Amino acid sequence: MNNPIEKYFNSYSRSVKDKLYRLEAFYSDWNTKINLVSRKDMDRFLLHHVTHSLSIGRIIEFRQGTRILDAGTGGGLPGIPLAIAFPEVSFTLVDSVRKKINAVEDIRAGLNLHNVEVRWSRIEDIKENFDFVVSRAVAPFTDLLNWAGKLIRRQSFNSMPNGIVALKGGDLSGELRNYPDCRIYNICDFFDEEYFLEKKIVYMPV
């Protein structure tokens, strides 16, 4: 099956799947103006970007009322696909690059995502507290923890304690050697395409 949404997320409602499909047109249009995502990946957009983002939902089913910060959201990934999949969860998407934030706000408005706030800001300037901070290849884990660790509230109500959930790839042994509490999930355990062989989810309770 060439359609990863139907292959891996067939249990999603028709409304959710329709919004996930509509993402490709938004990103294709914006990619002609600024480099939101790698242009060489656009022909596999649903797999390389949407499915990759949604892999976080394989390790935790966020409960209604959860507050999530997408730190350094770039083109809105993983935050936008996750916000579509979890409409009862609140997402704040933050990036310091104004052009990218303008694009993400346009996508948010076009899909009528009321559970998403888009903010032009540095992570260091955010003051609120969140249950989880998610990211996709933003920075070394030490930097991400320094920026975002203080934003995570201590009282948890999800199936996993509040913390950081980062999409990363390659050999992480050096980057994570000082963080024995991190749990590493191989995304290839969830999806069988070769693209995911070296991609991982790093979760650290805070």
- Whether 59 is covered by a domain: the verdict is yes
63-111 pLDDT, tens digit per residue, is: 999 999 999 999 999 999 999 999 999 999 999 999 999 999 999 999 9
- Whether 7 is covered by a domain: the verdict is no
Residues 49 and 24: their CA atoms lie apart, in Å, by 10
2-49 pLDDT, tens digit per residue, is: 899 999 999 999 999 999 999 999 999 999 999 888 887 888 999 999
Range(s) of the domain holding residue 160: 12-205
pTM for the model = 0.96
For the chain, what is the domain count? 1
CATH number at residue 153: 3.40.50.150
| SS (HEC) of 21-48 | HHHHHHHHHHHCCCCCCCHHHHHHHHHH
